[in-house]
Amino acid sequence: MKVLIAGGAGFIGSTIASCLLDNGHQPVILDNLVTGRREFCEGRPFYEGDIADTAMLDRIFDEHPDITAVVHCAALIVVPESVERPVHYYRENVAKTLEFVDHLIGKGVTRLLFSSSASIYQPGDDFTVDENSALTALSPYARTKLIVEQMLSDITAATPIKVLSLRYFNPIGSDPKMRTGLQLRSPSHALGKLIEVYREGKPFPVTGVDYPTRDGSGIRDYVHVWDLAGAHLRALEVFDTLPFENGSLAINLGTGTGTTVLEFVEAFNQVADRAVEVAHAPRRPGDSAGAYTRSSRAADLLGWRAEHTVADGIRDSLDWFAQRERILPDLSDR
C-alpha cells in the first residue's frame, strides 16, 4: 500500500516509514522540517511543506493518486513550550489539523491514523488507564490532542473518513537499523535528556519527586519506537476490519508496565558504561504524575504487543547517539 505520513521526517514518523518500507509498503513523506530532518527522508518520496498547505496537498495527491491511507504525526509536542506559547500550539496542532483533514476528505481519503497521546487521560489511583478511562488534559499540548480527537469524532460521524487514534505512551529507542532516532539538539524526552547529561557528565534533573508513586517520581509506560512503528503497520493492514463507532476508534500503545523516572534512571545506569547521578528538581509547568496502560485492546484488535524491553530502548538509543553525528553532522558538537 502507499501511505502518506504527515510529520514523516520526525522521530516517530520516520521510524514508521522505515517499518513500512521493510514490509513492502511505500511511504510518502510530508514535513515542514521545523523539527524533522531531511536526512530521514533519503530514498523516500518527500515533500517539504505544511499540512495546511492545500496547494502542496494537491500536488502530492496528483503525483500519488494511489495513496490509500494517511498517518498524521505532525505536531508540536513540548509540554513546557505549550504552556508558554498556547496560541502557537493550538494553531499548529488543532487549526492546521482541521484544514488538513478537510482537504483529505476532499481527496477521497477514508483511512486516517492519528498520533494521539496518553497525556489526555486522568489516571486512576493506581496510575493505570484504558481506552474508557476519564479524559482530562493537564497542559495545552495535551489539550490540543484531546480537542483534535473530539473534533475528528464529530467529523467521522458526518463524513466517509474513518479515524483510528493511537494513544502513545512514552517512546524510547531508535530504528534498530540506525536509520533514524532522536533528532533534536536538546530533546525534551526523558531518555534524550538522560543521554544528553550522560555525555556531558552532569546530573539528571528528576522534575518532581513528590508524586504519590512508589518512589515519588513520575511514572511512565516506556515503549520502544520500533514497537510503535509495528503497531502502525498492523493498524494499516487490518484497518478495514476494526470496530469503528461512528467512524472513530482509539487504541492505547504501551507495554502495560509502569516504570518510575527513578527506576528508569536505574535501568539506564545498568546499561550505560558509567552511571548518571540524579538531582531532584521541581515539577515543570504542565507536568503530571503520568500513567501506564492496562488495556489489551491493541492485542485484541491489532494482534500487537510490545516486544522490546526498557533496557532494549535505552541500549538502542545509546547506540543511535554514538553514531547520529554521522547522519546528522550539524549535531557533531554534542
The rounded average pLDDT for each run of 10 residues, N- to C-terminus, in the chain (334 residues) is 98 98 98 96 97 98 98 95 96 98 98 96 92 94 97 98 96 94 82 91 94 95 97 98 98 96 96 95 84 95 97 95 90 60
Amino acid at 13: G
User: What is the grid cell recorded at 311?
Assistant: 533496557
Provide the pairing of β-strand 111-117 with 67-72: parallel
Task: State the pLDDT at residue 334.
Answer: 41
Task: State the pLDDT at residue 223.
Answer: 97
Task: State the pLDDT at residue 49.
Answer: 97
Task: State the pLDDT at residue 154.
Answer: 98
Which of the 8 DSSP states describes residue 43? Answer: T
User: What is the grid cell recorded at 256?
Assistant: 502495560
Task: State the pLDDT at residue 285.
Answer: 80
Reported pTM: 0.94
End-to-end CA distance of the chain: give it in Å, rounded: 39
Amino acid at 326: R
* Ramachandran sector of residue 297 (left: φ over 0; alpha: ψ -120 to 50; beta: rest): alpha
| CA nearest neighbour of 262 among 248, 277, 247, 244 | 277
CB neighbourhood size of 43 (10 A): 8
Query: What are φ and ψ of residue 104, in 5° steps?
Result: -60, -40
Q: Helices marked H in 8-139 — which ranges? A: 11-22, 54-63, 79-84, 86-89, 96-106
Catalytic residues: 141
